[in-house]
Amino acid sequence: MEGKYISIKVIVDRLMRNPLMADIELEAAIDYAIQFMELVGNSNLFINKSYDSKFSKYRCRLPDDFVSEINISVNGVPVRTSGDSNMQFANEQNDPSLKAQSLDITYSINKDFVFLSKEEGTINIVYNAINIDEEGFPMIQSDAKTTSALEAYIKLKHYTILFDMGKITAQSFTNAEQDYSWRVGQCDTNANRLSLGDAERIFTQMNTLIPRRREFYNRFKNTGTEQRLKRH
């Protein structure tokens, strides 16, 4: 991977030094971060991975860190989505030997599985994966302006709740709004915005990767009951 990256955990930990941010839930902070990346974007959010597996009963479970497919092959032959009628013809034109195999294999993705029109075989999935640190937390490219705006966005979202609950003054809320507006104005807002589908998948998967709130606040001390982070 090119460039430097920073973990969401580091960003949230930094925000929690503010006493008014000390009770923010990690799940909420990640949700806000994903919302921010939908609005503003972040370069090199994903990394490319390749996954090989056998499949049967017309389906294969997707890798845990799967976000979206780049290409899929079955038994070494590229396959098409159920809505792509041109791919098989293109494959046969490029490699006439594929025609003899008569492999008009299609696939569709639903939740945690890829469903195929072939009952069994071997599959290779090249895909976009969530970029995570060694503890399973999502990472973003460490661009100073974008990171600063992200922190301001998370703070603003949390301050909105505090203001609605009467825990902060109108001036404090206004200051947070103005701070975010200024910081996001410094960003390149055309940098790889997340699609809604990708954002939803990332949020769902991050909720399975992150440890429980108590474990996070205790600096990841093992209490013997906390959820283990999935490793990839």
What is the pLDDT averaged over residues 152-158?
Answer: 96
**Structure confidence at residue 94 (pLDDT):** 52
Cβ atoms of 113 and 60 within 8 Å: the answer is yes
**Structure confidence at residue 100 (pLDDT):** 41
**Structure confidence at residue 70 (pLDDT):** 92
Name the pLDDT band for 226 (thresholds 50, 70, 90): very low
What is the pLDDT averaged over residues 142-160?
Answer: 92
Average predicted confidence (pLDDT) for the chain: 77
What is the pLDDT averaged over residues 17-33?
Answer: 89
Predicted TM-score (pTM) above 0.85: no
Span between the terminal Cα atoms of the chain, in Å = 16
